[in-house]
A = this chain, B = another copy of it.
Amino acid sequence: MEWQNELTRLVKTSYPIVQAPMLGVTTPAMVAAISNAGGLGSLPVGGLSPDQTRSLILQTKALTTKPFAVNLFAHQNSPVNTAQADQMLQFLKKLCAQHQINYPKPDLNSIIFHSYEEQIDILLEENIPVVSFTFGILNKEVIHAFKEKGTVLIGTATYLAEATLLEQNGIDCITAQGMEAGGHRGTFLDSKTLPLIGSFSLIPLVAENCQVPVLAAGGIYNGKTIKAAFTLGAKGVQLGSAFISSNESLAIESYKKSIHDAAETDSVLTKTFSGRWARGIQNKFMMEVENSGLAIPDYPIQNALTTPLRVLAQKQNNKDFTTLWAGQSASKAESKPAGEIFQKLIKETESLP
């Protein structure tokens, strides 16, 4: 197994293996563990304030001198439909009361949605070597600023048209997010239906049609799946679920247990938590919101409305009212230090014929 290729040369790592950015799960310690082990850790800062962004970067830098990626949410914010948001808020209050949860009602007027544009100066100042993004494409000025600086850019595509657009805009590497992947779908171009392309079709399709290296995401969890992704044309792989149960994860114990116990059919697509489609283990909250029949406000409005509830549920180790993002192969996740999980992946891959 020859690990060095155009992707490792681009991002300057020993292995073309990326830890997926998982907001609410990934810590600076997880990012540093992967980068120190020779992979590329990814620090998620999507939607965070400039101050939080800088603080997390500095925490990560204190733990590693190796390259790591910072991940942005590259969407444009929709205007808030106040009536719709208020209806959802009333429903969430009632739902919480029914379950003896003390829901701290957010003030709709005080919710601030931070745009990625507020974070760019910090990333440039902090000399972040790799910037990945999802939910859209960075604007031309931002791409230009990163190019001037020599920053490597990685964009997320869920179907070919998105991959082609990213490449045409000078993005250096494309994450091909198969439908098996846990967490939010990166889809950003309009399509008749939500693009849910399996990794088996998506990886070769993007690899055959784009010149830039492809990073395969979705369904990868061991040596065999890493090797198969490379056979299909990927130059690197990105794993998320594999690190959810790691020691460095923020995931609560009941979330880790849900992942461990999950059948492949337990992970479903939902908009209930954030207003964007995401894959996770089905729980009471998803079903209650879906059964309510209410329109779900767009991302990031629904995300803001459910945040206080999720924070509270996490404090109480309550898996019924928080996100349990997980891919279709998530049950393979092990409870170990992230660096050990990473080393095992390398060993398994190298041991294959």
Contacts and interface: CB of A to CB of B under 8 A. Distances in A.
A37 interface: no
A202 interface: yes
A201 interface: yes
Nearest to A263: B160
A70 to B, nearest CB: 27
Contacts of A205: 264, 329
From A201, A204, A205, A218, residue with most partner B Cβ within 10 Å: A201
A262 to B, nearest CB: 11
A284 B238 CA distance: 38
A285 to B, nearest CB: 15
A224 B180 CA distance: 20
A198 B224 contact: no
Contacts of A327: 201
Chain A binding site: helix, strand, loop or mixed by DSSP?
A: loop
Nearest to A180: B198
A227 interface: yes
By size class, the interface of chain A is 35 or more
A199 B219 CA distance: 9
From A218, A225, A228, residue with most partner B Cβ within 10 Å: A228
A161 B263 CA distance: 9
Contacts of A180: 197-198, 200-201
A178 interface: yes
Interface stretch (A122-130, A131-139, A187-195, A297-305): A187-195
From A198, A218, A225, A327, residue with most partner B Cβ within 10 Å: A198
A265 interface: yes
A231 interface: yes
A159 interface: yes
B193 A220 contact: no
A151 B351 CA distance: 38
Nearest to A353: B231
A268 B224 contact: no
Interface string A217-248: 01110101101110111000000000000000
A32 interface: no
Given A193-B268, A265-B192, A219 B201 contact: yes
A160 B329 CA distance: 12
A195 B263 CA distance: 11
Contact of A264 (B192, B202, B264, B265): B202
A282 interface: yes
Contact of A198 (B161, B199, B282): B199
Given A191-B265, A195-B265, A328 B227 contact: no
A202 B201 CA distance: 14
A171 interface: no
A48 to B, nearest CB: 31
B200 A199 contact: yes
Interface in A267-296: 268, 282
A88 interface: no
Going nearest first, the 7 A-B pairs with the smallest beta carbon separation are A200-B219, A198-B198, A201-B328, A199-B200, A180-B198, A228-B228, A228-B231
10 contacts: A159-B265, A160-B263, A198-B198, A199-B199, A200-B328, A201-B327, A201-B329, A204-B222, A204-B329, A225-B232
